[in-house]
Structure formats: C-alpha cells, structure tokens
Amino acid sequence: MAFDGITIANLTYELKQTIEGGKIAKIAQPEKDELLFTIKNSKAAYRLLLSASASLPLLYLTETNKKSPLTAPNFCMLLRKHIGSAKILEVSQPGFERVIELKLEHLDELGDVCRKRLIIELMGKHSNIIFCKEDGTILDSIKHISAQVSSVREVLPGREYFIPRTANKANPLTVTEEEFGAAIRQSPMPLSKALYQTLTGISPIIGEEICHLASIDGDISANALSDMELLHLYRTFQGMMADVREGNFSPNIVYEGDFQDVQDDRLNGTKGGGEEEGIDWEECAPVEFAALPLTCFMGANYRPRHFSSISRLLETYYASKNTITRIRQKSSDLRRIVQTALERNYKKYDLQEKQLKDTGKREKYRIYGELLNTYGYELKGGEKEFSCLDYYSNKEVKIPLDPQMTALENSQRFFEKYNKLKRTYEALSELTLETKKEIDHLESISAALDIALQEGDLVQIKEELMEYGYIKKRHAGAKKPKITSKPFHYLSSDGFHIYVGKNNYQNEELTFKLATGNDWWFHAKGIPGSHVIVKSEGKELPDRVFEEAGALAAYYSKGRDSEKVEIDYVQKKSVKKVAGAAPGFVIYHTNYSLVAAPGCKLEEV
C-alpha cells in the first residue's frame, strides 16, 4: 500500500481537472503538520487536505471540514498573508517524484503581481510542506529541518529548495529502451525488486504488476533475462507509462474476503451485474491499492473495488487510519503516564505476591511452638532437633532447634517468627488487594484510550487521571474543560437502543443513571472493557439483540483482537456499585454468559 509516483501522478491529474485555475478562499491548519485549503473554481468549491505527518502523509480532495484551533499557527498565518486569495496557476509533479507542486499567483502589499510555490513532499517520515519564492528560496515550511537533523538538505527560511537525489534512479516517463535495459541488466536482485529500485516512483506492488503483465516471474534474477524477455518487459512497462501520461487511471482497492456467496448469487441470477453489488466491503480486508488495475491478485478470494477518483479512494482507505493515528498522537502523553504507572504497579504487585508467598511458612512455626510447649519436657538440653508426633496431622515431624536455648526459649522463638509473618501476611494481603485494584483501574483507562476516536474523548480520561493523582490537578479557579464526548449509541436490527461507554465515567453514568432495572447490561468477562446497555423498554429481547450487544461488548474491550470473547450479561438491577471503588467498577453475583466474535456491524445513531 504505497503512496508511489503513479498515485501522485493520478492525484496531479485530478487536481489539474478540479483546482487548477481556481482561487484559494480559505487556509486552515487543523493539526501541527496538516493544512486544509478551500478552493473555488468554476462556481464549485473544493477542500484540499495536505498532511505532512511522518506516519501517514496524505493529499486528497475531501468534503469533510475540520475544526481549526482558535489561534492559527505561524505557518498558517504566513500562508494567509501571502496566498490567502492566490490563484493556482499550475499543479505539477516534478520528475515523477512523490512531490506535488502548486504554482501560485497573488498580489503583494503594493498591488504588484507575485508568484510563489507551495511544494508538498509525500515521502514517509521525510514528508514536508514547503513554501517558496518563485526562484526557489524557502520562505518557511511546516517542519524545519536543520543540518543537525539532515546532512542531505536543510529546510529552513532563506535556504534554496531542491529535491534531494539520494538514489540514482531513472524517470519512468523519459527512460529510453537502452537506459531501461542497462539499469535492469546490471542488477543481480529479483526482477520485481530491480524495477522499483532503479525507477523513480515505482512501488513494490507495481513492480510485481509489471512482471505479471509481462508473464515473467518477478523472483528471477534481473540479470538473467534474455534479450527478448527484456524487450517484452520494456514494452509492457511503456504501455503502463502511456496510461499514466494520458491520464487513463483506474483507482482501485483490492480486498480479500469470502466472495463465493456473491458469485453464486450472480450465477443464479439473484443479483445484478454491478461489480460491487451485494458486497459488504467493511467485512473484507483491504490488501493493496493503486491508481492502475492490479491484475497480479488472482483467485476467488480477491476482488477490486473501483473508485471514481483517487481522492475518494485515499479518503476511504486512510480516513479511519488517519483518525486513529491522530488520536494516538494526541493521547501519547496520557498513554505514557498510564503505561508508566502500570509498569510500576506490575513490579510492586509481583514483589508483594512473592513476599506473600513467603509468609506461607507461618503456620508451620506456630505448630512447632505448640509442639515444643507440649512435648518440650522430654528435652535434656543441647539438642539440634527434636522428633515428635504432630497431633494436627498424626505424622511425625522433626523440629530444628537452637542447642543454646531451652525448649521454652525455642518455642518462644517460633511464636515470634509466626507473629511476625502473620502481621506481614495481614498487611500484604491488604496492600496486594489495593495494588490489584489500581492495576485494574489503570488497565480500564488504557482500554478507554484504545477506543478513543476524538479529542473530546480524551478530556474525561484526563479528568479521571487528575482525580486519582496520576496527573497534577489544575490550579484552583482554573476553568474546567467542556465535556463533549458522548457514549456510542447504536440501534439494533430489531430497533432496540444500545449504548456503549467510552470511558469509566461514561460506564458509571450508563449503568447507574441511564439504565433502569429491567434493561440488560453486558461486559467482557475478566478483562477491561466498556459497559454495554440495551434499553429493553419493558419488552423481551430477541436472541439477535443479545448477539449484537455481546459483539459490541467484545469489540470495545481489551479482547477486540481475539477471535472469540466470553461476555457476561445480566439485568441492570443485579449490578451493584462497589463502595469506594473507581468509577465504572461493579459487582454482580448471578449472570448469564455468551461467547461473541468482536464486531461493530450496527450503524451509529
């Protein structure tokens, strides 16, 4: 799944058809490494998302708006000052690189026409958005790269912009047959790898596709090709590049799934001829995407899903990943705090458990003391051990003795050991219980961080960490943040309302405020997870509702990656709050159980 040169070429082609010649109407910077442009062209408005995220660089047209910070970052302010109403003269892709350049025209403070360049580099961890003068002098960038960070190129105001040539690769659009043959022939690596190692903008999957179209094994050594095979490979490659030049793109995602049922329906005439009809794509796993057809994926388990535009494809594929990546970045500090506290408590718990195990000898010392009190009159003094009948077990035991002490003194010594271990046991039993409760609490917070999807979801988690002393409390008089996060709300297939808590506070509210006595309560057995409430409205629930609620309880738990999760469920009236426990911690003594596959197939209300 690569953001390769062909995907960038498709994006460039699409942007030429939509925003080239348009005027920038609005510039926002919703994230520290992300911009959102609103562009008007031919009475139509477009939103262009540009992200230089190291983990997920993106660029596509979208209909989704994003909330911007109250105070715009400096880079955003600079862009607004210079190109806030600029015209987009040209969209281009330099040298088939993973780079898109926007050439812009605007009026300066004196009303003179000026030109600028906005360069978006989509190169993994090296991604950046760079704003330059027409002559290539860098005005600013969304990420500053100094000589200490990169010895190849500095990206700082005043420096000259250039694309670093770290690999000696040929441009696929201009490479001749001789250059192509020489580059491939000198490579001892597998053919598919040689293609993407010697040609700019070619990804591994496109290398495989070229070999597949040419009917040549991609695993054979590149320098083992015959002249005829090399010529055929070049012509196949040129056919693909001709499609790129002419804009004959076919954006598609290849999914893996069980498509046999759909095929049977078509053969029986029960489905229409549409390629996507009858397929629930959310139930299938995306394998690869590309801007050109991927015929190398063969077999009944693979099916391409075609898109009208590359932007639609990228938004479909990356939308959920981008959301998860962003929220993980925002929650990283909270995760670190929770993980540090968990590791500290794990070590403490292990040590307490070991010490508690050592106190298991205490009863033996008590018995030794009692036996010496009973039979000690038989001792003459100076013995190192004493054998006698243990009247508790009716077995003979050997009691080790200090020969310098009398029977009474040895007995007292054993009773002192017993009393010391008894006190240690009583103290450790309480401490171990408290440590286990703290671990359970922290693991529940960790589970809540895993299912957080919005910044607002983190607010309540942070409040809980403050309340329990893991984060320093805000100053007296400081304004409390507004709580915008709400529980998940689903409608079952039979019309019953299902609520899922996102964190401990919401779990507490759902169970003890929203739910009434005859509503049903679900939770993953023995692992941290969300409380799931099904509002029964005084009706008897169909079996399907129990299955759907159980699947949600499994999905919103630490067991969401398991194939099956055991779920406890009971009517709310049987669920009790534990006095003094953290929010969301409950007890119940009678319950039903079911086994569910984690899943979230219901639509959110």
- Of 268, 299, 330, at which residue does a domain stop? 330
Taking 50 as the threshold, does the pLDDT of residue 269 lie above it? no
Of 107-111, 253-257, 297-301, the least confident: 297-301
Which DSSP symbol is given to 291?
S
Asked if residue 531 has pLDDT above 80, the reply is yes
Cβ contact 535:511 at 8 Å: no
Are 178 and 284 found together in one domain? yes
Distances (CA, A) of 387 to 175, 225, 368, 383, 413: 96, 89, 11, 11, 18
Residue 294 counted as domain residue: yes
Residue 324 and residue 186 share a domain: yes
180 and 318 share one domain: yes
Give Cβ neighbours of residue 465 (< 8 Å, ≥ 6 apart): 334, 337, 338, 445, 471
CB 466 within 8 A of CB 474: yes
Query: Nearest 5°: phi and psi at 354?
Result: -65, -45
DSSP 489-520: EEE-TTS-EEEE-SSHHHHHHIIIII--TTSE
Report the CATH number at residue 80.
Answer: 2.30.310.10
Q: Is residue 554 part of a domain?
A: yes
Q: Compute the mean pLDDT over every residue in the chain, rounded to the nearest whole number.
A: 89
3-state secondary structure 239-261: HHHHHHHHCCCCCEEEEECCCHH
Q: What is the pLDDT of residues 24-51, one digit of tens each?
A: 999 999 989 999 999 999 889 999 999 9
Q: Report, as an integer, the average pLDDT of 143-170.
A: 88
Q: Are 516 and 562 in contact (CB under 8 A)?
A: no
Residue 270 lies in a domain: yes
Q: What is the CATH number of the domain that holds 217?
A: 1.10.8.50
Whether 320 has a pLDDT exceeding 90, the answer reads: no
pLDDT digit string, tens, across residues 505-529: 999 999 999 999 899 999 999 999 9
Q: Is the pLDDT score of 261 beyond 60?
A: no
Do 109 and 13 share a structural domain?
Answer: yes
Q: Which helix (H) or strand (E) holds 387?
A: strand 385-390
Within this chain, do residues 23 and 130 fall inside the same structural domain, yes or no? yes
- Taking each helix axis from N to C end, the angle separating 455-467 and 332-358, rounded to the nearest 10 degrees, works out to 40
Same domain? For 363 and 325 the reply is: no
In this prediction, residues 412-438 reach a mean pLDDT of: 92
Whether residues 9 and 103 fall in one domain: yes
Order of all β-strands in the sheet with 138-141:
58-62, 44-51, 34-41, 23-31, 87-92, 99-107, 113-121, 128-133, 138-141
Does residue 293 share a domain with residue 177? yes
What whole-number distance in Å separates Cα of residue 130 and Cα of residue 302?
40
Task: Provide the number of structural domains found in the chain.
Answer: 4
**Residue 381: band (very low, low, confident or very high) from pLDDT cuts 50, 70, 90:** confident
Residue 201 and residue 4 in contact, taking contact as beta carbons nearer than 8 Å: yes
Q: Residue 507: inside a domain, yes or no?
A: yes
Residue 322's nearest CA partner among 30, 38, 12, 556 is: 30
What's the domain range around 420? 352-449
Domain shared by 137 and 184, yes or no: no
pLDDT at residue 482 is higher than 80: no
Number of H helices, E strands in the chain: 14, 22
Residue 8, both tokens: 């960038």
Each residue of 353-364: pLDDT tens digit? 999 988 888 989
Residue 504 is assigned to a structural domain of this protein: yes
Q: How far apart are CA 81 and CA 84, in angstroms?
A: 6
Report whether 528 contacts 503 (CB < 8 A). Answer: no
pLDDT of 298 above 90: no
Query: Looking at the structure, do residues 321 and 402 belong to the same domain, yes or no?
Result: no
Neighbour-count burial of 398, counting CB atoms closer than 10 A to its CB (0-12 exposed, 13-18 middle, 19+ buried): exposed
**Which residue from 553, 534, 554 is spatially nearest to 545, judged by alpha carbons?**
534
Domain boundary among 397, 426, 449: 449
Q: Do 171 and 103 share a structural domain?
A: no
Is the domain of 590 the same as that of 496?
yes
CB 575 within 8 A of CB 546: no
pLDDT tens digits for 76-85?
999 999 999 9
Least confident interval from 33-37, 305-309, 330-334, 538-542 = 330-334
